[in-house]
């Protein structure tokens, strides 16, 4: 199939990660190598930017700024959780693409974002419009199907492990067999992030924190929780717990969730740490319980980011462009493929967007020990390579310096659209 001559559009969607901008840097760096690509545009705030025709010229950015994206957290182009709801939304997307001669569309996001990309591509095909669409994996939750792991995951668990070790030093100083510290982490319905905290343990110190890890994959009961904590406090000066926000009871109900939902109908999670704190206070007289809720900090912590993660994020962006331009691929998402040798290696592959959209990859039950609150050696072998190396973040006056796009606007060509 011949190369398509035209313009690139790249967008970001969903919750940011410490390395989502590395993928954008990969897209821009690779797109500059191909003569068939005339302009490189970024959509401000994902699909909202497309609907509102809010584009910026990424080719006009300095190479220093593009390189700086490799260590910059957040979403440099802005993100959104907007769901394309009606056929008019999709028709508008294609109208904008045609007006700006967009022939290559790259969308960095999670499950719902890949579904959006898939639907846009299908409509283009129905209308006979030549467009190549490639998804770029992004989620700290690490729950996208098919891919071995997701850019963003290695950095978030590296930060959480760092935090666990630091908080443990404080707890060690303060505890007298009467302190419970509860760290709540993100991850929604999958326990990948909470499980990653297990890497904070030193191999020759099995009693290192976290002492207990509570995962959405293991039904939670108050009786077992109280017994677990009591067991730890009998031998340790303190009990450090990591809990995933999507923890559920034996009936599958969240132990703590807001009544509100986001644009995609997902429950607003949070409050698991406070719930466990209340159980300690109610059932263990004389024991102090404290909580740490990392919130957005865990997905923005580029200062404690993983070099392996950032490099793979960049690699995924490059691979998306190569697949679309050189291999004429479309309707695919870039996947990370682990090598089968003892020494860790990672290559990229492709999977149909339809296989990714709205799916959830759960933490394998066999990677959770029989006690339900610790991780097996198999999980450690899986996750350990993903946190290797330190992201080189430049500093000025003692503080990290992050890249900021100039965001030179592209002229609008269409009448405004009512979102």
Confidence at residue 262, expressed as pLDDT on a 0 to 100 scale: 47
d(CA 309, CA 216): 24
CA 285 to chain centre: 39
Determine the straight-line distance between the first and last CA of the chain, rounded to whole angstroms: 36
pLDDT in tens, 276-305: 999 999 999 999 999 999 999 999 999 999
Integer CA distances (angstroms), 160 to 172, 218, 280, 305, 329, in order: 18, 20, 23, 10, 37
At residue 325, does pLDDT exceed 70?
yes
- What Rg, from alpha-carbon coordinates, does the chain have? 22
Distance CA(241)–CA(406), nearest Å, equals 43
| The token pair that represents 287 in the structure block | 């024991």
* Contact call for residues 197 and 242 (beta carbons, < 8 A): yes
Q: Is residue 261's pLDDT more than 60?
A: no
pLDDT band at 53, cuts 50/70/90?
very high
Identical fold at 6-141+306-357+389-400 and 153-300?
yes
Distance CA 321, CA 327 (A): 9
Q: What is the mean pLDDT of the chain?
A: 94
**pLDDT tens figures, 24-44:** 999 999 999 999 999 999 999
- Interval 62-86: pLDDT, tens: 999 999 999 999 999 999 988 898 9
Q: What is the pLDDT of residue 206?
A: 73
Mean pLDDT over 250-268 rounds to 66
Report strand pairing: 257-261 vs 267-269. Answer: antiparallel
Tokens in use for 379? Answer: 């999980």
DSSP per-residue string spanning 303-349: GG-BHHHHHHHHHHHHHHHHHHHTS---SEEEEEEE-SSSS--EEEE
Nearest to 36 by CA among 3, 2, 1: 3
Q: Classify the phi-psi angles of 372: left when phi > 0, otherwise alpha if psi is within -120 to 50, otherwise beta.
A: left
CB atoms within 10 A of CB 280: 21
Q: Residue 203: its pLDDT value, please?
A: 76
Is residue 113 exposed (0-12), middle (13-18) or buried (19+ Cβ within 10 Å)?
buried
- Residue 54, marked binder: no
Per residue in 133-175, pLDDT (tens digit) is 999 999 999 999 999 999 999 999 999 999 999 999 999 999 9
> What does the pLDDT average to over 85-91?
93
CATH topology of domain 153-300: Rossmann fold (3.40.50)
Asked whether the bond before 212 is cis by omega within 30 degrees of 0, the reply is no
Could you tell me the pLDDT band of residue 3, with boundaries at 50, 70 and 90? confident
Enter the DSSP assignment of 415: -
187 annotated to a ligand binding site: yes
CA distance linking residue 132 with residue 121, whole number of Å: 7
Domain 6-141+306-357+389-400 has CATH 3.40.50.450: yes
- 241 close to 230: Cβ distance less than 8 angstroms: no
- Is pLDDT above 70 for 266? no
> How many CB atoms are closer than 10 A to CB 408?
12
What percentage of the chain exceeds 90 in pLDDT?
A: 89
Residue 188 marked ligand-binding: yes
Confidence grade of residue 207 (pLDDT, cut at 50, 70, 90): confident
Is residue 141 among the annotated active site residues?
A: yes
- With bands split at pLDDT 50, 70 and 90, how would you rate the model's confidence at 58? very high
CA distance 187 to 140: 7
Residues 6+ apart with CB under 8 A from 155: 17, 18, 19, 140, 301, 302, 304, 305, 306, 309, 310, 387, 391
Q: Are 280 and 233 in contact (CB under 8 A)?
A: no
Q: How far apart, in whole angstroms, are the C-alpha atoms of residue 70 and residue 23? A: 8
Task: Return the pLDDT at 158.
Answer: 98
Report residue 131 as tokens.
């467009």
Catalytic residue among 89, 112, 118, 141: 141
- Domain map of the chain by residue range? 6-141+306-357+389-400, 153-300
Q: Which pLDDT value is given to residue 269?
A: 64
Residue with tokens 């031998």: 235
User: 30-62 as b/e, with b when 16 or more CB fall inside 10 Å?
Assistant: bbeebeebebbbbbbbbbbbbbbbbbbbbbebe
- The C-alpha atoms of residue 383 and residue 365 are separated, in whole angstroms, by 15
Residue 118 annotated as binding site:
no
Directed axis angle between helix 222-235 and helix 272-283, to 10°?
70
Number of H helices, E strands in the chain: 13, 15
- Confidence band of 308 (pLDDT split at 50, 70, 90): very high
The string of DSSP codes covering 197-250 is GGGGS-TT-TTPSP-EEE-TTS---HHHHHHHHHHHHHHSSEEEEEEETT-B-T
Say which residue, 155 or 189, is predicted with more confidence: 155
**Has 141 been labeled as part of a binding site?**
yes
């Amino acid at each position: 199939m011949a190369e398509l001559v035209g313009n690139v559009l790249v967008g970001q969607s969903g919750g940011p990660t410490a390395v989502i901008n590395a993928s954008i840097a990969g897209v821009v760096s690779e797109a500059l190598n191909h003569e068939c690509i005339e302009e490189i545009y970024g959509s401000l705030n994902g699909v909202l930017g497309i609907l509102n025709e809010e584009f910026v010229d990424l080719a006009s950015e300095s190479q220093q700024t593009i390189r700086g994206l490799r260590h910059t957290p957040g979403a440099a182009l802005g993100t959104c959780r907007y769901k394309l709801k009606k056929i008019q939304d999709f028709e508008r997307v294609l109208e904008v693409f045609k007006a700006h001669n967009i022939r290559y569309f790259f969308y960095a996001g999670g499950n719902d974002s890949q579904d959006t990309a898939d639907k846009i591509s299908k409509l283009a095909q129905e209308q006979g419009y030549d467009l190549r669409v490639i998804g770029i994996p992004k989620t700290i939750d690490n729950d996208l199907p098919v891919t071995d792991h997701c850019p963003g995951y290695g950095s978030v668990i590296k930060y959480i492990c760092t935090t666990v070790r630091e908080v443990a030093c404080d707890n060690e100083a303060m505890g007298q067999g009467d302190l419970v510290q509860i760290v709540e982490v993100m991850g929604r319905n999958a326990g990948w992030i909470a499980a990653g905290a297990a890497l904070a343990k030193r191999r020759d110190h099995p009693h290192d924190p976290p002492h207990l890890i509570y995962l959405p994959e293991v039904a939670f009961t108050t009786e077992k929780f109280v017994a677990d904590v009591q067991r730890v406090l009998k031998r340790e000066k303190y009990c450090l717990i990591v809990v995933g926000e999507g923890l559920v009871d034996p009936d599958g109900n969240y132990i703590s969730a807001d009544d509100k939902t986001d644009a995609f109908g997902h429950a607003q999670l949070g409050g698991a740490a406070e719930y466990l704190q209340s159980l300690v206070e109610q059932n263990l007289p004389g024991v102090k319980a404290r909580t740490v809720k990392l919130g957005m900090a865990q997905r923005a912590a580029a200062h404690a980011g993983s070099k392996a993660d950032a490099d793979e994020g960049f690699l995924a962006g490059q691979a998306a462009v190569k697949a679309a331009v050189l291999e004429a691929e479309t309707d695919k998402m870039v996947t990370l493929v682990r090598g089968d040798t003892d020494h860790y290696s990672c290559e990229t592959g492709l999977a149909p967007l339809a296989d990714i959209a709205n799916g959830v990859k759960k933490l394998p039950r066999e990677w959770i020990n029989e006690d339900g609150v610790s991780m097996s050696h198999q999980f450690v072998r899986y996750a350990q390579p993903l946190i290797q190396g330190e992201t080189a973040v430049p500093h000025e006056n003692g503080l990290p310096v992050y890249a900021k796009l100039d965001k030179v606007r592209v002229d609008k060509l269409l009448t405004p659209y009512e979102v």
